Structure 1
Amino acid sequence: MYHEFFGLKEAPFRITPDTGFFFSGGERGAILQGLVYAIRQGEGIIKVTGEVGSGKTMLCWMLEQHLPDDIETVYLANPNVKPEDVLPSILAELELAHPADASRAEHLRTLNDYLLARHDANRQVVMFVEEAQGMTLDTLEEIRLLSNLETEREKLLQIVMFGQPELDIKLADPRIRQLRERITTAITLAPFTADDIRAYLAFRLTTAGYRGPDLFDRRVVRIIAQASQGLTRRVNILADKSLLAAYTDNTHRVLPRHIRVALRDSAFNDGMHSSPRWLLSSIAVVVMLAVLAGFYRLSKPAAIPAQPTHTMAAQTAPAVANSPKVAANTSHIPAGTFEQRLTTTRDWLMQQPAEAYTLQLSLLRNPNEFPAYLSGEGSGLAPDQLRIFRSQAQGHPSWTVIYGNYPSRQAANQALAKLPEAVRRRQPYLRTVGGIRNETRQIQQVGK
């Protein structure tokens, strides 16, 4: 809504990571280069920790882009993965055969043979472990054991763990001290200072097309720094909402009262930043003023954009409103028969490139659970993007629900962040089409 008013070409403060908006200040650029160097050295385990919203995901995406072409990456993105599923998950991502009835030793041998072949070809393999603080001690120990795969002189698998500060608490447990001792590089993403935030705001605005004087003066930046505690996600939220508040005031300067209005409507507002009652207007009033201002400006020669791309109302609406391809009416989902879903999913898997991504949402123990899933937590999703395939869980038949079709990991992660809250509570994670094809192929072979 405010983009044209400020001369912006796109939204400058989206909370979804976008590598085109990577800010190298606040030591982030130096950390990125340090991680690339540490991976190239290929010794020990690397640990990156930071608070929620400190920029770990952005850093992970940038790291993948900056690694040389001779380094191959694999992701372990599901924090709920069980110890016995770590190896099958890695093999699936690498599109390697992993029969469901194979032993751990057989899976390990398959992975070791692959890593040796990559090593002989002068290629390196690095595994990114995301949300590591949510993993059990047994799963973390299983990951540690993978670091034992090595030649006489070099590690075959480099491991980079990303997690919140709670990861350090887990690593302090004596039961996994061997993992802690294998960590040779430990990096903590420190919160931005007020000066960092001022430079960050200017950088994001310029990248989005802004060419005017500073919108956020030092006084305003100090308020943002205190309210956000230096966390980039909070800075983005406050900056976005304050620009909307300034737009409704028809001013090109962000004032302290605009920040306080934005803070009033932020979920992380802890009540420490009290303001006079006349400043603490609700978000409904702000949005109403924005709409009225829009109608007023529409009658003028310089009209605001006809299709707002990012409004405060959109941020505060239920998560389902921001989910990818949300159906307008999901009360009656045209699901078709269960077998039809299986058939169309099988055809779809064969037609997609192996490197395409989808989102794994849920595991069903019984086909009869699928209609309930469609009318329950799956009701906020586009029905034509919901697919299902036969799988196995702990040796028993099961059915896996997947969603969407994305050309890259970045696009899939963006969609993952926009899933309805009811779906995200089940901890969905990314899968490659090639990995799923291998999984279904192995299950078919076992069943013969």
Structure 2
Amino acid sequence: MSLYLEHFGLREPPFRITPDTDFFFSGANRGPTLDALIYAITQDEGIVKVTGEVGSGKTMLCRMLLERLPDSVETLYLANPSLSRQEITGAIADELGIPTDGKATHSLTRALQEALIERYAAGKRVVMLIDEAHAMPAESLEEIRLLSNLESKATKLLQIALFAQPELDERLAANDMRQLRERITQHFSLAPLKQEDVAGYIEFRLRAAGYHGPTPFTPAATRQIAEISKGLSRRINILADKALLAAFSQNSHQVDAAEVAIAARDAQFMPLQRVQQGNRPAMLRGLAWTALAAILLLIAFNLGMRSAPGDKTDVAHATSPAPEAPQATASRQKALRSAPPSNAATPRFGPLTRQHMEQYAAWIEEVPRTRYFIQLLATEATHTGEIEGFLARATKELDPAEIRAYRSSLSGSDRVGVIYGDFPNRETAAAAMLALPESIKAAQPFPRQVSRLH
């Protein structure tokens, strides 16, 4: 266990490099990419490819898919890329409960097809997620192509998603990979986090680990972490972890550029060389295609939601324009700082969300900046169903008059927060937080000062 946990009031280490889905960061386009991947895997029939540098978050995204795919999808996870052609078929057969003893590859393939047909008839879709696909032998990649051909009269029987480093694109460019290349219908590329996203990523991880209070990382520290890490989440985690340890060793509760410099020396990070000037056009083309693919998939998803039965709030969120969020009118500067960015999506908020936004607009005009409240929830503004659902639960457990919702872009992205109470100091807010119902505590609330909203 990390030495600094008690020092910083943390429940668990916030910057482990082992993927933990409780720490999935939905900012920096990760959340929309996950949504688009789920749609592509469940609705499309071609191979899906996700590429990104070492430490960009591919395995985390893969783990999130394992959790988020619907119950009608049976997932097979292949983490060992060095399997031979026959071993891959055998591994899939083993996952599906097919005896493999003494069977030749063609017999296994036939048995595999029969098992997939049975699952399709039962309303199940089978998806195989392959991690580190760039390291697969050529014969194994060819086997992937052949497996993608398994089909019934109406549909493909096995959906395949490849997670790989950019080397896979180089391999697929070869002439002998043309047939596999043409089977790939959806391409996603995980871009490194931008400098403005790094601060949000660090704060999110701290909150998820139980941290309360203002972030210990100064702006200079986050800028330096962004520069040294080149926006790769694994490197960010390593630097942030070591910087916290450096601050702890000096009995400090603040991480500045000096602590980050110590962390960088200890990590022995060398400058990344992969994205050189000569490779930049190819990288930019890849990111452009990723953005286009995500947009097209989400448009298709929204069109599907128009006719699909389900929760009315979510359908409205997907298809309808939004009224403007309530705006504070104390000053033009305040309005400019709290308004969502001009290029933000215009989600359709539910009635509870709109009601509590109105309560916030009236409250923020009068409340002194030195007062405190309890932050119950903070999420992307487009997650209207999540926000409305949380408010529905919270208003049953707490005094509805003390619950307020606000929309802000101070963090660099369009977000909605749900807050509770109005307290004279942090101690009173912290005491009230301890008395919250367990269902509300599950959202990891924490006290904040009103000045943080401006």
Structures share fold, TM-score greater than 0.5: yes
TM-superposed deviation, 1:5: 1.1
- 1:47-101 deviations in whole A, cap 9, x for unaligned? 011111111111111111100101001122221111122211211122211122x
Number of corresponding residues: 271
SS where residue 227 of structure 2 aligns? helix
SS where residue 5 of structure 2 aligns? coil
Hey, what does 2:50 align to over in structure 1? 48
Which residue identity lines up with residue 76 of structure 1 in the other structure? L
SS where residue 267 of structure 2 aligns? coil
* Alignment map for 1:272-287 (pairs within 5 Å): none
TM-superposed deviation, 1:6: 0.9
| Partner Cα distance (2:56, 2:64) in 1 | 14
Hey, what does 2:279 align to over in structure 1? none
Hey, what does 1:252 align to over in structure 2? 253
Which residue identity lines up with residue 78 of structure 1 in the other structure? N
| Partner Cα distance (1:31, 1:221) in 2 | 24
TM-superposed deviation, 1:270: 4.0
TM-superposed deviation, 1:103: 2.1
Equivalent residue in structure 2 for 1:10, among 3, 9, 12: 12
Relative to structure 1, the CA distance from residue 257 to residue 44 in structure 2 (aligned partners, 3 Å threshold; closer, same or farther) is: same
TM-superposed deviation, 1:174: 0.7
| Partner Cα distance (1:12, 1:28) in 2 | 19
| Partner Cα distance (1:271, 1:170) in 2 | 21
| Partner Cα distance (1:103, 1:135) in 2 | 21
- 1:175-224 deviations in whole A, cap 9, x for unaligned? 01111111111101100011111001111111111111121122211110
Which residue identity lines up with residue 142 of structure 1 in the other structure? E
Decide whether the 8 Å contact of 1:5 with 1:247 is kept in 2: yes
Hey, what does 1:110 align to over in structure 2? 111
* Alignment map for 1:357-436 (pairs within 5 Å): none
TM-superposed deviation, 1:225: 0.6
Equivalent residue in structure 2 for 1:21, among 20, 23, 47: 23
| Partner Cα distance (2:173, 2:272) in 1 | 33
SS where residue 269 of structure 1 aligns? coil
Hey, what does 1:205 align to over in structure 2? 206
TM-superposed deviation, 1:138: 1.5
Hey, what does 2:78 align to over in structure 1? 76
* Alignment map for 1:34-433 (pairs within 5 Å): 34-100=36-102, 102-270=103-271
Decide whether the 8 Å contact of 2:217 with 2:255 is kept in 1: yes
TM-superposed deviation, 1:267: 3.6
Hey, what does 1:319 align to over in structure 2? none
TM-superposed deviation, 1:7: 1.1
Gaps in structure 1 of 5+ consecutive residues: 273-448
- 1:111-158 deviations in whole A, cap 9, x for unaligned? 000000001011100001111111111110111111111123211000
Q: Which runs of 4+ in 1 moved over 6 A?
A: none
SS where residue 162 of structure 1 aligns? strand
SS where residue 185 of structure 1 aligns? strand
Gaps in structure 2 of 5+ consecutive residues: 274-454
Hey, what does 1:446 align to over in structure 2? none
TM-superposed deviation, 1:16: 0.8
SS where residue 58 of structure 1 aligns? helix
| Partner Cα distance (1:164, 1:152) in 2 | 35
| Partner Cα distance (2:78, 2:7) in 1 | 43
TM-superposed deviation, 1:269: 3.3
| Partner Cα distance (1:77, 1:213) in 2 | 39
| Partner Cα distance (2:220, 2:272) in 1 | 20
| Partner Cα distance (2:91, 2:117) in 1 | 19
| Partner Cα distance (1:75, 1:255) in 2 | 41
- 1:219-247 deviations in whole A, cap 9, x for unaligned? 21111011001000100000010011111
Q: Choose between structure 1 and 2 for higher RCO, CA contacts under 8 A separated by at least 6 residues.
A: 1
SS where residue 74 of structure 2 aligns? strand
| Partner Cα distance (1:212, 1:85) in 2 | 51
| Partner Cα distance (1:202, 1:14) in 2 | 14
Hey, what does 1:288 align to over in structure 2? none
Decide whether the 8 Å contact of 2:4 with 2:244 is kept in 1: yes
Hey, what does 1:445 align to over in structure 2? none
TM-superposed deviation, 1:271: 10
Which residue identity lines up with residue 33 of structure 2 in the other structure? I
| Partner Cα distance (2:260, 2:27) in 1 | 23
Which residue identity lines up with residue 54 of structure 2 in the other structure? V
| Partner Cα distance (1:17, 1:197) in 2 | 18
Which residue identity lines up with residue 81 of structure 1 in the other structure? L
| Partner Cα distance (2:270, 2:247) in 1 | 20
Hey, what does 2:283 align to over in structure 1? none
Hey, what does 1:309 align to over in structure 2? none
| Partner Cα distance (1:88, 1:127) in 2 | 13
SS where residue 128 of structure 1 aligns? strand
Q: State, as a whole percentage, how many aligned pairs show the same letter.
A: 52
Which residue identity lines up with residue 120 of structure 1 in the other structure? A
Decide whether the 8 Å contact of 2:96 with 2:115 is kept in 1: no
